[in-house]
Chains A and B, each alone.
Chain A
């Protein structure tokens, strides 16, 4: 099998399964009374955390690709990113439907008044922009250079998401630690992938990813 075939026939189906696993688990546990005494909070937190984790995974694709030398990995970045957006949409919808009762004015008021919502919604809007411009046709329309500049927004999504998470806590910030450790891991990966000997790869990353 060629690398492209491995990606298309094995890696992508596996990623689809992995990407749908969290929501499948939620539905299953929902039917089995596993959503705690406060199911809305549980669903909101679960989908929020899932979004953060998947966004971090998208950020790990490029350094792993550079480190492993398997350029084909770039083809799965869009799929992973779209799954992050999917969970961000579910997260926002649960909040909008159950917490704000589908009232747009209330959503607007929250976005304007509550810093943790302002920040979370900003991150969500960024993910929306990235999702909308993810098809190849959009890459061509924007041109690789501009497309890439736009997609650097992903770097802001993680800190904004973490700030959103932290501000929503009452006091105890310990739930954030695993995510901060993961951010540290991501930065380390980037540094490793930036070894001078790997410099030529900078050009390779200019090629818009497909898949």
Chain B
């Protein structure tokens, strides 16, 4: 399948520290390990330990709710996710306002256990639930002029208090090239750990592109727009030298201020090597053949 096991440090090497630091989560992992034995494969594919529910839902970058890692979990309660409509616009045969359910109608929900690598050099393993974006896009019938897809996050400072600060130029906008958007690994996520995705993780629908840095995954999406031109994206606008449009995970291309060669997997004390395309090179490297990845960071 598409999901591969990373060449991680053997967890046996570090378990004692882990035990000492966080016994309860370790016990929970033991439970997950047992679940992996008891349940069929795709549910918990060999992927290293998925991070705990508490880690996945308590340590988030979602500046709409504050810049601290625990701000989103604390502040995202004010977000109303029902009803939720997504506007589809631009170079597309079937534009309109779609109810979330309508967008996914007839597409099977899948569980995908993906590595998640933040540009800040920390990472997690997360069991997402969602729908392949490509399947959704096919039904919307983009025209031949559509070369890019843009995803816009809700802008509503009432519900998103972090938007009262000007740390980013709101609303948050992200984008993909069409072939990236159609790639079977790219997921529109509506759940985590088999439960509806919590507000702090980008409810009710967010993007996950596992071979790119986490900031490419726009959250709480209210608009999908098909474009001929490359969209301007939030972090790229904020600091163009530091955050590119492509933002593929690449240990060989450092952030101007820090190294991207290694990462800290949450729950592990020692850093591990970052893999090209976050370990998904076999599936996605072909998308960028002939491109200078240093210039197109």
- Residues of A that sit less than 8 Å from B by CB: 30-31, 33, 35-41, 98-99, 101, 110, 113-116, 167-168, 170-172, 174
Contacts and interface: CB of A to CB of B under 8 A. Distances in A.
A116 B257 contact: yes
A37 B55 contact: yes
A37 B21 contact: no
A114 B70 contact: no
A141 B174 CA distance: 63
B24 A98 contact: no
B105 interface: no
Contacts of B70: 36
A171 B238 contact: yes
Contact of A36 (B20, B63, B69, B258): B69
Interface residues of B, number: 31
B87 interface: no
A39 B122 CA distance: 11
Which label, helix, strand, loop or mixed, suits the secondary structure of the B interface? loop
Interface string B1-25: 0000000000000000000111111
B201 to A, nearest CB: 13
A171 B70 CA distance: 17
Q: Which 4 A-B pairs have the closest CB atoms?
A: A37-B59, A172-B67, A37-B55, A37-B266
A99 B271 contact: yes
A39 B269 CA distance: 8
Given A99-B271, A101-B270, A37 B69 contact: yes
A174 B80 CA distance: 28
B167 interface: yes
Interface of B: 20-25, 51, 54-55, 58-59, 63, 67, 69-70, 119-120, 122, 167-168, 238-239, 257-259, 264, 266-267, 269-271
B21 A30 contact: yes
B221 to A, nearest CB: 22
Nearest to B238: A171
Nearest to A110: B259
B264 A40 contact: yes
Contacts of B20: 31
B269 A40 contact: yes
B257 A115 contact: yes
A171 B239 contact: yes
Contacts of B63: 172
A168 to B, nearest CB: 8
B271 A36 contact: no
Given A37-B267, A38-B266, A116-B258, 11 more contacts: A30-B21, A33-B21, A33-B24, A39-B269, A40-B269, A99-B271, A114-B257, A167-B257, A168-B257, A168-B258, A171-B168
A36 B55 CA distance: 8
A110 B58 CA distance: 30
B35 to A, nearest CB: 21
7 contacts: A33-B25, A37-B266, A37-B267, A114-B258, A114-B259, A115-B257, A116-B258
Contacts of B23: 33
A198 to B, nearest CB: 43
A204 B54 CA distance: 57
A36 B59 contact: yes
A174 B63 CA distance: 13
B67 A174 contact: yes
A171 B167 contact: yes
B67 to A, nearest CB: 4
A83 B168 CA distance: 38
A33 B122 CA distance: 19
Nearest to B268: A40
A174 B66 CA distance: 11
